[in-house]
Structure formats: structure tokens, C-alpha cells
Amino acid sequence: MTFAQTVRIDLAYKGTHFRGFAENPDVRTVGGELRSALEQILGGTVELTVAGRTDAGVHAAGQVVSFRSDSSRLDCERLVGALNSICSTD
């Protein structure tokens, strides 16, 4: 039996060095960096759903992002720690 859950992330970031949230293969975006980090941590493809988005250079506090996980053993506290260690501080 497959267990599926939706995981919500409340995200804050400084957007100075990003070209917005929406993924674009030619530029660095918040969504692209987040998806890449989640795929590295979870070991599979991740599809993000975002409530709103930001433009280039815009900061965010409390942006809501979610994704589906088939893992019944997903430890959200460890996930946050892993994301914070992988994602850049800029």
C-alpha cells in the first residue's frame, strides 16, 4: 500500500540574487533551487505547488509551497534542517 501525503513548507527568503520564484531553466530561481534541494534530499522527482510567486529581486516571508510525498516516514524537522543546510544563504 502506498502512503501519500501533502507536505507544506512556509518559506522565507531574500530574493536579491534570484530571478523570481517561477522555475526557468535559463536563470536561477527560488523554485528551481528549492525543487533541486528537495529532490536531492528525497531521492526522487518533486513537483512543487506554490501559493503566489515573486518577481526578480523580491523577498518573501511566509510564502506557502507544497509537494506530494509517498514516504510514510518523512520527518519534517529533519527535512527543514536538510533544506537549510543545502540551500545557499544568499
Beta bridge partners of 8: 66
Q: Which one from 10, 55, 70, 75 is the annotated catalytic residue?
A: 55
Q: Is 10 a catalytic residue?
A: no
How far is the first Cα of the chain from the last one, in angstroms, to the nearest whole number? Answer: 41
Q: Which residue has the cell 536579491?
A: 16
Q: Is 38 exposed, middle or buried (0-12, 13-18, 19+ CB in 10 A)?
A: buried
**Hey, which residues are catalytic here?**
55
